[in-house]
Structures are given as structure tokens and as C-alpha cells.
Amino acid sequence: MDAFFAQIEERENPQFKGKPIIVGADPKKGKGRGVVSTCNYIARKYGIHSALPISKAYQLSPTAVFLPVNMKFYQKVSEKIMNIIKKYSPQWEIVSLDEAYLDISFLKDYKEAENLARKLKKEILEKKKLTCTIGIGPNKLIAKMATNQAKPNGLLAIKPNQVKSFLEPLDIEKLPGIGPKTAERLREIGVNKIKELKKLSKAKLRNIFGVVGERIYERVRGIDETPVTSEEIIKSIGKEHTFEKDTKDSETIFKTFDKIIKDVHRELIDNNFNFQTITIICRFQDFETHTKSKTLKTRTNDFKILKSEAKKLLLRFLIENRKLIRLVGLRVKVV
């Protein structure tokens, strides 16, 4: 889906059409402390993007439309779209609220695949008044990369004999799995394009990045053998809080964290979910973000266990790092 949250808001509020729309925290006239969740393509022309500090987004476009995240509504829209998508193949995989894979290998050729894609795009647009982009490829990796290249509202098919010419000219950051830090290390050794990255041996990549290096070696060659699995996404429940002022005051931090724990637990109980893995998110004053996780031996929905284990993880952050804290969060993986 294209700029999913922002596009839904534009659909629901036609008066915002043609304006930059930013979904996320309250900017508070440039003094807000949260981040951008997503924005439409008009806003992106101003340099605004997901995870950008909301205060910076306000500086870049103070006249933009700033809206809060309405997650429950977005989830309902997503469910309806996914139900449309599932009709087009018995093998589907939902990745997130706005992304899914379909295995369409039952079709004869890429021409039929493109026809199916156009039909799917048309049905979503007619029924939900939302646009999407579809990428087609010999595997999930190439299909995803084709989608990224064709946005917004595009359609791009990459046949097996086109994979090499498609991949090689791209910047290394276009390859899934290569984030800013990995890209920085590669640029330090003169690697900027996928074509240049392809010249590094598997041993060299493994030496630099460990097991991840082996995956990079395969991906630059367009290799991806992971199947499309018809299972719902592994759900998680999480809450975060951005402090009005960066703080190191343990009383303030734990008081806020107690409320987060209660909110997460309430959502677990309301949905009759259990959890087994607990993850704590901590963002410091310099925007550096770290996580700590613990996986329990058995699944549970016990409040006391959640509270005890989550607080232990948070306490480690406070002990190990002297920086002021900007944000704390808790996420549990639902089982």
C-alpha cells in the first residue's frame, strides 16, 4: 500500500487532498518530542520521512496537516484489503498492515502475472479507494525490490533474465537487510553500488558482517529461497512514551513505565493473548535507540511476570548508560 496511514487519512478527509499529510506525534508548534509514523508523497518532497523527529518535520513544513495515529482504524482497513488480496492466490503471506506476498507460480508466464496484478490494483482502488504498488519477480526479494522501485501506484515485473541488470546499478541501501550502519561500513571500503558489492567474496563479507554477510552475498545475486507461507503475521503488542524533557530521573521513568506495562497487559487480556518474548526499547537524548529482550521458558499472560521481567531489563539500561533518556517502550511477542 502507498503511504498507507496518510492515504487513509486523505481518503477520510478529502479537504486535505493536495496537502502534505504527516501522521505521528503532536508537533506542538515545533516543540513536540515524538516522531513521524508515516507521511504522504507530497510531504516527502520536503524531506520528511518515517521516524523523523516530529519537531524536524514541523520545521521542514509548518503548514502541513499533522494527524495522530489512529491504529485501530488502520487495522480494520488493512484486514479488508488483505481479504481482497487472499482471493488472488491460495499461497499468501501477510508481512505487516500494508504489505503482503502472493505466490502466483500457478500462472503460465509474466504477462499473466501482470494482468493479475492490474486486476488486484483495480479491485483495491474501486472497493477501498486506495492505491497500491505491486512488484513481480522470481522470488520474494526481487518482488519486494521491484515494488520499492515502482512506488507510488506502480507496477513492475522483473523476469529471471532481468535480475542482474535490475540489481547491479542500484545503491547498496536498496538491498533489503542493508541499513545505515552496514552501508556506512561498505562505503568506507569504496562500495556504493550493488555491482561493486557483488565483487566481494563470501568469505570477505562473512569476515566483515558474520552470518549476515552470507545473506548479503546471496541477495546481491538475486537469490532468495524463502517460501511464501500462508500464515498470519507474528503479532506483537507494544507501547512507547516520549518524555517532555530528556530525563535520567528513575522515579519519573519507572512511573511512566508502570503505565506502559499496565496498558500492554490490558491489551493482552482483552485479546486473550499470551506472550513469551519481552523487548524493552530505550531511545537516548542523541536519538540512539537500543533494545533488550528476554524470552521466557513458557508462554504466559501473568501481569506479575511481565512487570518483573520488563523492569529488570529497563533497570539494566539505567545502570549501563549514563545518557539522558528520551523514550521508553515495551513490546511483547504474542503467541
Look at strands 21-24 and 65-67 and give their pairing. parallel
Question: Count of CB atoms within 10 A of residue 258's CB?
Answer: 13
Q: What gap in Å lies between CA 228 and CA 101, rounded to an integer?
A: 7
Residues 6+ apart with CB under 8 A from 7: 1, 40, 130, 131
CA angle centred on 288, ends 284 and 290, rounded to 5°: 85
Q: Is the bond leading into 176 cis (omega within 30 degrees of zero)?
A: no
Look at the block and give the residue holding cell 570477505: 204
C-alpha span between 51 and 275 (Å, rounded)? 27
**Cα dihedral across residues 241, 247, 248, 250: positive or negative:** negative
How far apart CA 69 and CA 256 sit, in angstroms, is 20
Beta bridge partners of 164: none
DSSP letters spanning 11-37: HH-GGGTTS-EEEES--GGGT--SBEE
Residues annotated as catalytic (active site), given as ranges: 99
In this structure, how many other beta carbons lie within 10 angstroms of the beta carbon of residue 146?
A: 22
Cα–Cα distance measured from residue 8 to residue 73, given in angstroms and rounded to the nearest whole number: 9
